Structure 1
Amino acid sequence: MCGITGWVDWKKNLTGEEKVLQDMAQTLSKRGPDASNDWVDGHCGFGHTRLVVVDPAGGSQPMTRKHGDINYTICYNGELYNTEDLRKVLLGKGYTFQSHSDTEVLLTCYVEWGEQCVDHLNGIFAFGIWDGERLFLARDRLGVKPLFYRQSGSSLQFGSELKAILAHPDVKKEIDRGGLQEIFGLGPSRTPGHGVFRGISELRPGFAMKFDRSGLRIWRYWNVVSNEHTDNLDTTVEKVGDLLKDSIKRQLVADVPVCTFLSGGVDSSAITSVARSAFQDDGKGTLRSFSVDYVDNDKYFKSSEFQPNSDAPWIKKVSAELATDHTNCVIDTAQLVHHLKEAIECRDLPGMADVDSSLLWFSKEIKKHATVALSGECADEIFGGYPWFHKPELLDQEQFPWMRSTLERQAMLKEDVRNKLKLEDYVIERYRESIKETPALDGESEIEAKRRALFYLNLNWFMTTLLERKDRMSMGASLEVRVPFSDHRIIEYVWNVPWEMKMLDGREKGLLRKAMTGTLSHDVLYRKKSPYPKTYNPAYTKAVSSWLQDTLNNKQAPLLELIDQKVVQEIIDSEGKAFKVPWFGQLMAGPQLIAHLAQINYWMEHHNVNLVD
């Protein structure tokens, strides 16, 4: 993986502006610690930082290819999983290659197919290509890799992360009403395309854009398509299994050590099982797997509807059954708290408290042994694993089912801020916009149409939030994480599978469990879903409460401009229990909310955020 950034200005020759590009690229050094380069050609400049994964010698960027009289230059972050398929097609069309990197193949795809090149790609990517007359930018279908941009008149800047754009001298770190509505109304999720900072946007997953002298054009090149599912159950089970196995095997390609995340749940265990078999077939030796746990978690763990049991015994069982070289990484409270600030620096936005900081620390531990890891994100959004898919009453509610805290969020703000932001109105508007986008299926029953809309919300909101977390925390440790369940072929197929098939045998993700029969033991296959682990140690609650209390006691703290201190004091005094529902999802409650509020203040301080109307 890499970090990419760039700048186009139609009224300015950027020769001599290399220092600006270098400063922008330097902010992305953790995404690409192995090399850094910049490139300028008249009105366009690119900056690139590289994490070497494939073809150390031949994959250097920015990369230029001449075809006819035109020089095409690419700045690319990602990984193609059909590189050799594309190379074969392009060789048949008469192209030659100087390396075995996917960068050269991607650039040649653009030379051959232009803007339609994205239709040929299987992978995770964000890239820019300059041909002397226009800048073309594109992002992968599900948004595994990030891409932000800012246009102002004749000028446009882009970057893998917000920090690259914020490093440009023309950009001000301003947050207006819309930015505050995103943070307090929707955070840590974001409206698709919203960059939070004033004037900055995010290129949405499955979108592309072109910037030339006539201006900016943005279009959607991919979306799920609703059709009647005609395959019978046996065929559906077989196709799901074949697609997932193919996706996993394709994503094992690398010239550096590859491992898997392992939680003992069906998603990560299935990936680990297929990867283990592929390693054996290819003579690659023993697969390494990694898990995360907390000091004294066995002492403090509390079973709940969402987390019915601890991961530890299941991890031990699966790693033993699959004979992986397993490492259990155990984080203590001091490290968990220490990484809360760094997690904000990785995100450039308020995030998910210790759900972020533990992953950042965990990624650093994995990086000591591997450069690429496969992880189980996206299965729950695709196959219906979350609790809100299984509660009929939620289908009739006009709200994001993972965020039932809008009224409580409003009550936490100062009255004038509350009246200005109108969070309840803002959230419902964003909800309705997404519902209207859902590709409908003619003749579908009302309840199935609602369920389809719920799946669409999960793909475009909840899943992108988790993918953003995974990208920022892993790349903050210079670790490339791949997500086999995000393969667009799986998404497209399962999108139209009826609910009864997805819920095969009356179990959440029953279809996935059936498709993986034979790869895992029965009890692992049918273990009840449990989310990412979090700490229950009272020492963590005490530490983050102290941090937020110090914030309230600091009269210069920027957070005090926005919050009702009495309400927040009650949250601290009650260890988060005064806030009656989770702030977000299933995990951000109690101490996680306390840490999140302290993180918002730190974010405002770190970026020296200027609040504007």
Structure 2
Amino acid sequence: MCGIAGWLDRERDLTRETETVRRMADTLARRGPDDSGVWTAPRIGLGHRRLAVTDPEHGRQPMTATGPDDGRDTAVVSFSGEIHNHRELRAELRARGHRFRTASDTEVILAAHREWGAEAITRFAGMFAYALWDIGTQTLHLGRDPLGIKPLYYAEHATGVVFGSEPKALFASGLVRPEVDAEGLVDVFTVAAKRPGDAVYRTIRQVLPGHILRFDHNGTTSHRYWQLVTAPHEDDQETTVATVRSLLDRIVAEQTVADVPLGALLSGGIDSSAITAIGASAMAAEGLGTLATYSVDFAGGEDDFTADALHVSRDAPFVRAVVDHVGTKHQEVLVEPASLLSESGIALRARDYPGVGDLDVSLYLLFREVRRHLTVALSGEGADDAFGGYPWFASEAERPSGGFPWSAGVKDRNAVLSPQLRPHLDLHERLESRYREALGEVPHLDGESGVDRRMREVYYLQHTRFLPFLLDRKDRMSMANGLEVRVPYCDHRLVEYVWNVPWRLKRLGGREKGLLRAAVEDALPAEVVHRPKSGFPVGQSPEYLESVRTAVSDMIEDPGSPAMELLDADTLRAMVRNQDWVNGTFTPPPILPRALQLNEWLTAYDVQVVL
């Protein structure tokens, strides 16, 4: 896991822009604290910040490939992420005559490109984003993993394109300004409704998940190499359960391979607990020692905890049950509630745009502590999306909401908007348009109707709208600490299989994630197998809530607050007075800490609003 940046230009001599490319890459230093490198040629500059995970000694980047006959460079790559099946690919490529200088997965990408061309990306299993320059054809390839686990942003300009792992790298080129239009503001004021490829900023795009972009003398082309394929599910219940377990065993075993310390994030829920149990078993089988696990809670959380729609129970008792059952080396990370506000700016700069307030900050603080001990951590992210873990899955099966399920029931989205902004931005209208657009993409099964048809839609929305929101948050908060977080449930092989499993099997026993529970029940304590879904901890300390109220009140009264040109002061004042302004859901009450981030973003990034 690293940070990549680069610049392609059809007119400028980029050998004279080495320092610009280096400056772009250095904005990503937190993603790659171990090493840095720059490679330039007349038309291309590639920069890299390295987090050394695989072959730390020899895997420096940008990495070049040389021709077998004359020893000249034929390609160069800057790569972020992990190719989890690189060992198998290396063996296959060796059998085809390729020689390797390193044990890194980066070199496998270069060899695979030489062997299979741009189609090599279809053979990679993992999380990745890379920029590969083919010297012979003078072609730039920007590739991204199937589900978009690793980010890759780009902005085209008159004579070329700049790109990087985060928007800040593009801003450092001097060719891109932080501007946001009405569509970008929709992404700021709502959660998980971003259209694939959008990036909040007006002139910046993301390489789509499962796509590869090519830039050459003919222009720009986009190729989709992976997508969810709809087909009848032929396996019976027993085979389905066994297949899910077999896939998890294989994927987790691949992802426990690292040349640096590795552990797991453990919440005591079925998702992370299953990864912990399978990962511990895989490490023991390879003689890799005891798996280290980490959980998070808030200081005073036992006294302050109040159950809500997404948080039905505290994690601690279930974490302890898994630790005792599996036998991990465990540490609990306690977050001081006051730090949720004081560290908010760091979380903002990790994202480069406003996120979800204290939900971001608490995750950042967990990752910061874990990074003191580990370089790589396994996570249960993505299980709810694949297996149907959120409350809205069952709700949609019973009574479809007619919109994005996670934001159903929001009565007046526009209430928070300032009077001068409302004529330019109707959030209800924009979200309805985006929802219809998303439904038009769903690959339905011929003859599918009723609940099965609706649930196919819900799972598609989940994978293409909500999961990217989660993966974006996970990537920014982890990589801001130089921590690589791996997500086995987002492996495309598992997602492909579960996609076609009908709702009745996913909900075995009438339980959310019933299929997953059945697949791993032999590996975990019964109380964990049957624990209902409970979300990531949120700050509920009265002192923290009061500090947010005070900060928002100060922002409202400050005539220099740029956010107040976009926000309605009376609505915010009402939220400040309301004791229930934070409720653990994705509905308006959590807007207060997000409003503070919005204000800081507009100021710190000098964002220009273009309406």
> How would you bin the TM-score normalised by the shorter chain?
over 0.9
Task: Give runs of aligned pairs for residues 128-167 of structure 1, distance below 5 A.
Answer: 128-132=131-135, 133-167=138-172
Q: Aligned equivalents of 1:612 and 1:489: distance in 2?
A: 42
Which of 347, 356, 373 is equivalent to 1:369?
Answer: 373
Q: Aligned equivalents of 1:571 and 1:345: distance in 2?
A: 26
Q: Aligned equivalents of 2:140 and 2:269: distance in 1?
A: 43
Partner of 1:47: 47
Tell whether the 8 Å contact from 1:359 to 1:473 is kept in structure 2 after alignment.
yes
Q: 2:445 is matched by which residue type in structure 1? A: L
Tell whether the 8 Å contact from 1:395 to 1:454 is kept in structure 2 after alignment.
no
Q: Aligned equivalents of 1:431 and 1:140: distance in 2?
A: 24
Which of 595, 606, 609 is equivalent to 1:608?
Answer: 606
Tell whether the 8 Å contact from 1:6 to 1:158 is kept in structure 2 after alignment.
yes
Partner of 1:303: 307
Offset at 1:601?
Answer: 0.8
Partner of 2:185: 180
Partner of 1:557: 561
Partner of 2:91: 88
Q: 2:535 aligns to what SS in structure 1?
A: coil
Deviations 1:501-543 (A, max 9, x none): 1111111111111111211122211111111111211111111
Q: Aligned equivalents of 1:191 and 1:305: distance in 2?
A: 26
Task: Give runs of aligned pairs for residues 573-588 of structure 1, distance below 5 A.
Answer: 573-575=577-579, 577=581, 586=585
Partner of 1:262: 266
Tell whether the 8 Å contact from 1:188 to 1:351 is kept in structure 2 after alignment.
no
Distance 1:599 1:552, change over 3 A: same
Q: 1:322 aligns to what SS in structure 2?
A: helix
Partner of 2:20: 20
Offset at 1:188?
Answer: 5.9
Which of 159, 169, 172 is equivalent to 2:174?
Answer: 169
Distance 1:336 1:415, change over 3 A: closer
Q: Aligned equivalents of 1:392 and 1:605: distance in 2?
A: 40
Offset at 1:394?
Answer: 7.1
1:77 aligns with 2:77: no
Deviates more, 1:407-416 or 1:107-116: 407-416
Tell whether the 8 Å contact from 2:182 to 2:610 is kept in structure 1 after alignment.
yes
Tell whether the 8 Å contact from 1:188 to 1:350 is kept in structure 2 after alignment.
no
Q: Aligned equivalents of 2:586 and 2:299: distance in 1?
A: 18
Q: 1:80 is matched by which residue type in structure 2? A: I
Deviates more, 1:396-405 or 1:380-389: 396-405
Which of 450, 453, 461 is equivalent to 2:454?
Answer: 450
Offset at 1:593?
Answer: 2.2
Tell whether the 8 Å contact from 2:188 to 2:355 is kept in structure 1 after alignment.
no
Deviations 1:110-141 (A, max 9, x none): 11111111110000000011113110011000
Q: Aligned equivalents of 1:368 and 1:323: distance in 2?
A: 21
Partner of 2:594: 596
Partner of 2:29: 29
Tell whether the 8 Å contact from 1:388 to 1:394 is kept in structure 2 after alignment.
no
Deviates more, 1:333-342 or 1:153-162: 333-342
Partner of 1:56: 56
Q: 2:460 is matched by which residue type in structure 1? A: Y
Offset at 1:237?
Answer: 0.6
Task: Give runs of aligned pairs for residues 192-271 of structure 1, distance below 5 A.
Answer: 192-271=196-275
Offset at 1:576?
Answer: 5.2
Offset at 1:447?
Answer: 2.5
Which of 80, 94, 112 is equivalent to 1:109?
Answer: 112
Deviations 1:168-199 (A, max 9, x none): 11211211222223212x34652211111121
Offset at 1:303?
Answer: 1.9
Q: Aligned equivalents of 2:592 and 2:579: distance in 1?
A: 8
Q: 2:30 aligns to what SS in structure 1?
A: coil
Offset at 1:67?
Answer: 3.0
Distance 1:376 1:54, change over 3 A: same
Q: 2:446 is matched by which residue type in structure 1? A: D
Q: Aligned equivalents of 1:408 and 1:277: distance in 2?
A: 49
Q: 1:586 is matched by which residue type in structure 2? A: T
Q: Aligned equivalents of 2:185 and 2:585: distance in 1?
A: 23
Q: 2:176 is matched by which residue type in structure 1? A: V
Q: Give identity over the alignment, percent.
A: 40
Q: 1:109 is matched by which residue type in structure 2? A: A
Q: 1:126 aligns to what SS in structure 2?
A: strand
1:439 aligns with 2:443: yes
Deviations 1:440-477 (A, max 9, x none): 10011232111101100000111111111110000011
1:10 aligns with 2:10: yes
Q: 1:54 is matched by which residue type in structure 2? A: T
Tell whether the 8 Å contact from 1:81 to 1:251 is kept in structure 2 after alignment.
yes
Q: Aligned equivalents of 1:451 and 1:24: distance in 2?
A: 43
Q: 1:402 aligns to what SS in structure 2?
A: helix
State the 4+ residue runs in structure 1 displaced beyond 6 angstroms.
none
Tell whether the 8 Å contact from 2:309 to 2:585 is kept in structure 1 after alignment.
no
Task: Give runs of aligned pairs for residues 182-581 of structure 1, distance below 5 A.
Answer: 182-184=187-189, 186-187=190-191, 189-392=193-396, 396-404=400-408, 407-575=411-579, 577=581
Offset at 1:88?
Answer: 1.0
Q: Show structure 1 runs of 5+ residues with no match.
A: none
Distance 1:91 1:586, change over 3 A: same
